[in-house]
Amino acid sequence: MENKLREIRERVLQNIEDARASGNLEQIRVGILGKKGELTGLLRGMGKLPPEERPRMGQLVNDVRAALEARLEERAAELREKEKQARLEAEAIDVTLPGPERSAGTLHPMNIALRKMVEIFVGMGYEAVEGPEVEFDHYNFELLNIPKNHPARDAQDTFYIDDNIVLRTHTSPVQARIMTTRKPPIRVICPGRVYRADEADATHSPVFHQMEGLVIDENITMGDLKGTLDEFARQMFGEGIRTRFRPSFFPFTEPSAEVDLTCANCRGEGCRMCKGTGWIEVLGAGMVNPRVLEMCGIDSTKYSGFAFGMGVERMALLKYNIPNLRYLYENDLRFLTQYR
């Protein structure tokens, strides 16, 4: 009996060792320890032994049983781990394979630039408002000190609907509308579409966008205008970008200035983009002409203010290195999909 036990123990341990899958171990377990298993059979046969041998032999059988069970458990864990590893290995995928195609979508680059511009001024306490694109001559010109038959109208080739209604040539009429309906302090920006009777080319478009800014308060100076535009330049184009003011003339501002920005391409060193000057002309600005204030019903002895108008497409061209204004109105998906 003892020999038999030893034989079983050695054989089964060997079988366990030879097992290659966790399923095989179950068969082995059932074959030895199951209801009809060899060891279970031996235990049943104990009755035939003399009573004095029974405790010792029972102990021996139980020892073998415990050893085999422990080994089975151990081996099963080993095999499960091995099988898991094999499965994980088999599950490896080609991570470089592209996912299902899905286009991202973007705003138009003009609007990307405009959003940024609006955000900068909203952060400085400006209210962004809109006004009509088809506008009365009165707001587009007359309240801005550009009377009928004034040559200053030549600078802005105008589309007319009738004698008194035009497609606005700038966003400045929104200024006039604000000034005639509100009391200072006023701090607004007016983004929107404007129209000029220019044929489309690399730098002109009959439809484009502007963003107007207007501040009316007590003690506003030209220095405040410069400070404001310097801050805009820094946020829009980065540190080190400054403004340069040059004297100019607009009927609705006095003094007036053409404003240049440090060329963002060469940082002022002079390059092809800025024609070697280090500066790029970007916008017009000035102190609101007291006449305009008076025409709009604001006391020019108490209040002063500044105004500026910038071309949004121009900003987009500079910011995103777009070589030709026409790209913005051709809606070529090969162009539009380049933006984020």
Site map for another protein, 134-173, x if CB under 8 A?
xxx-----------xxxxx-xx---xxxx-xx-x------
We find the least distance from the C-beta atom of residue 159 to another protein, in angstroms, to be 5
Distances (CA, A) of 148 to 169, 177, 255: 15, 19, 22
Which of the stretches 3-11, 46-54, 58-66, 123-131 binds another protein when contact is defined by CB under 8 A?
123-131
Which of the stretches 11-19, 26-34, 81-89, 239-247 binds another protein when contact is defined by CB under 8 A?
239-247
Determine, following the binding rule CB under 8 A, whether residue 70 of this chain makes contact with another protein: no
How far apart CA 36 and CA 23 sit, in angstroms, is 19
Provide the token pair at 10: 């050695």
Half-sphere exposure (Cβ direction) of 259: Cα atoms closer than 13 Å:
25
Provide the token pair at 172: 């400045």
Q: State which of positions 304-323 bind another protein (CB under 8 A).
A: 304
Residue 118 and residue 212 in contact, taking contact as beta carbons nearer than 8 Å: no
φ, ψ dihedrals at 209, nearest 5°: -120, 145
* Cβ atoms < 10 Å from Cβ of 98: 6
Determine, following the binding rule CB under 8 A, whether residue 246 of this chain makes contact with another protein: yes
| Residue number, 72 or 241, with CB nearest to another protein | 241
Out of 223, 239, 272, 323, the only residue in the binding site for another protein (CB under 8 A) is: 223
| Residue number, 42 or 215, with CB nearest to another protein | 215
Out of 227, 238, 276, 297, the only residue in the binding site for another protein (CB under 8 A) is: 227
Determine, following the binding rule CB under 8 A, whether residue 230 of this chain makes contact with another protein: yes
How far apart CA 126 and CA 10 sit, in angstroms, is 90
Which of the stretches 9-17, 61-69, 79-87, 288-296 binds another protein when contact is defined by CB under 8 A?
288-296
Residue 192 Ramachandran class (φ > 0 left, ψ -120 to 50 alpha, else beta): left
Out of 33, 249, 265, 271, the only residue in the binding site for another protein (CB under 8 A) is: 249
CA dihedral for 23, 26, 27, 28, sign (positive or negative):
positive
Angle at 323 between CA 321 and CA 328, to 5 degrees: 90
How far apart CA 188 and CA 210 sit, in angstroms, is 14
Determine, following the binding rule CB under 8 A, whether residue 129 of this chain makes contact with another protein: yes
| Residue number, 28 or 282, with CB nearest to another protein | 282
| Residue number, 151 or 323, with CB nearest to another protein | 151
Which of the stretches 28-36, 56-64, 83-91, 108-116 binds another protein when contact is defined by CB under 8 A?
108-116
